Amino acid sequence: MAEIDPKTHEVNKDTLTEYCRIPAWYEVRSRLDVEIISDGFRGIVFREKKVERPYKKYYGETEEPLTWMQFNTANWVIFFVNEGDMPVGGITIACKTSELRMLNGRDDLADVWDIRVHPDFRHRGIGTKLFQKAIVWSRENGYRQLCVETQNVNVNACRFYRKQGCKLGAVNRFAYRGYPMLAEEVQLIWFMDL
């Protein structure tokens, strides 16, 4: 079993190549339907609904993390959990990157850019350890808030972030309209005050 002690690494081509070895998919069995009441003036209601046919959704397929090098990653950090020489979990924190929309130009906000745990090692506390490590690192480095993006089709992630102490801060029903395969998904952004 993996030793759950996340190790800190700089973001560079070598660490991202290692990161790519960790599969990044989850199974969609349900979704959160978002109902806007009175154009939002009376609130938002989420209702969990089973999908007709469960499916796997892939994030960061094999080489996708290497595209992160298009950003200035000088202030980014990766934490890995390994089983022997094999990375089985990782989390990437993005910060102080002006071209990153998630950061809204804020130098006091750190973003969980990506978190992944190998399917064979899920439900062992690795994701929680990685997230807790990200919180500690963010506090120690002077960040006042941590944010993370997910979608309404990743109900387990929503539950996970809530369990970690995050609060839903933004709901964007139109965030993915420019991407036909994702157009019906709703962007959910979670925040944690540090």
At 75-96, the pLDDT tens digits run 999 999 999 889 999 999 999 9
Q: What are the extents of the domains in the chain?
A: 7-193
Task: State residue 94 phi and psi, 5-degree precision.
Answer: -105, 135
Sheet containing 86-95, strands listed edge to edge, beginning at the edge strand earlier in sequence: 7-10, 77-83, 86-95, 109-117, 145-151, 187-193, 167-172
Residue 76 neighbours by CB distance under 10 Å:
22
What percent of the chain has pLDDT above 70?
96
What percent of the chain has pLDDT above 90?
82
Smallest CA-to-CA distance from 186 within 164, 160, 159, 154 is with 154
Q: Which long-range contacts (CB under 8 A, 24 or more apart) does 43-52 make?
A: 44/171, 46/152, 48/155, 51/153
**Can you name the CATH fold of 7-193?**
Aminopeptidase (3.40.630)
pLDDT of residue 40: 86
Mean pLDDT of 17-33: 94
- 45, amino acid identity: V
Q: Classify each residue of 14-49 as buried b or exposed e, where b means 16 or more C-beta atoms within 10 Å of its C-beta.
A: ebbebbbebbbebebeebbeeeeeeeeeeeeebeee
pTM, to two decimals: 0.93
- How far, in Å, CA of 146 to CA of 193, rounded? 7
Q: Are strands 86-95 and 109-117 parallel, antiparallel or unpaired?
A: antiparallel
Q: Classify each residue of 102-116 as buried b or exposed e, where b means 16 or more C-beta atoms within 10 Å of its C-beta.
A: bbeeeeebbbbbbbb
Each residue's pLDDT tens digit, 35-59: 999 988 999 999 999 999 999 998 7
Q: Rounded mean pLDDT of the chain?
A: 93
Each residue's pLDDT tens digit, 99-142: 999 999 999 999 999 999 999 999 999 999 999 999 999 999 99
Sign of the alpha-carbon torsion through 96, 97, 100, 106: positive
